Amino acid sequence: MSHIHVTNPIDEDVLADLRRSHHVTVGFGDDARGWGEVATTVEATIVRAETIDARMIASAPRLKIIARHGVGTDNVDLDAAAAAGIWVTTTPGANARAVAEHVFALMLTLIRRVREASSSVQRGRWSEERPSLTGGELNGRTLLLVGGGGIAALVAPIARGFGMRVVVADPYLAPEAAHELGVGLAGLDDALPSADVVSLHVPLTAETRHLLDDRRLGLLPARAVVINTSRGGVIDEAALVARLRSGALAGAGLDVIEAESIDMNDPLTHTRTDLTLGNLLVTPHVAGQTEEALVAVGRLAAQSVEQALAGRRPDRAVRDLAATAVV
């Protein structure tokens, strides 16, 4: 039986299927085992939030695959994995619909002032605050999608259904592809001044880190709302909070932050996210976490593991190992 280590919770049915054919250990719950306890025998790992660095890879001589339960790979040392002949896979598209819908959950909550309205009722004020709770409509507003990949391609038609005008800023998106999506194509700096909503859909790379910095945030009109369901590092959070506090931006909905954690006893972390701001909505990286998506993502990750353990190239490998693997 091959040894598979699952670092974070995945769908129970997927986990049960793996256990029927393999020895499975987990890094969570009552039976949690740390990497140091499993490294010498583990042959495959399914990873969600856990970081797999070069030291961990070097300590696992039998490891054949790191299967990401999701699409980002910023928590895996890809170079170290490739050098050790270890496959790294992702699950592209499996949770795209969930993330796309969460974009609108954040957008509507902010623009329709859902949180404030609910809080008013909870305080026993049914009509007293109603005049101050007037929200806006999505119809007629301009949505700027930063990045034109799979999730953005799902967001665009939903936005058009609300009557929004959709523009994409993506230097790698061909005009023909933009036409097929039914969206306009523009440079980021050119599109920001007329955007009512900005939704980020880019991976975190050296090129995209702080892509929305203070200068670019300054190009947005004061009515604008920023939505980020990609990676926290693509926004300069200090600059964003400063503009939200001053009223230079109407609101922000973040499913991701740079720290990927909140320590209420750490003034630096708390100040950076400033959870007391009424126009800032933060969810804990749950955009892709629906019941349906967890099943789909888990199945794809497990399929990649089975392929690698059988000695085959996984269908969703991030890169080929032929030129880099150490034999």
Residues with catalytic roles: 231, 260, 285
Q: What is the crossing angle of helices 96-111 and 150-161, to 10°?
A: 40
Q: How far is CA 278 from CA 109, 253, 255, 314, in A?
A: 12, 11, 16, 46
Amino acid at 67: A
Task: State the Cα–Cα distance between residues 111 and 129, nearest whole angstrom.
Answer: 17
Phi, psi of 82 (to 5 degrees): -65, -40
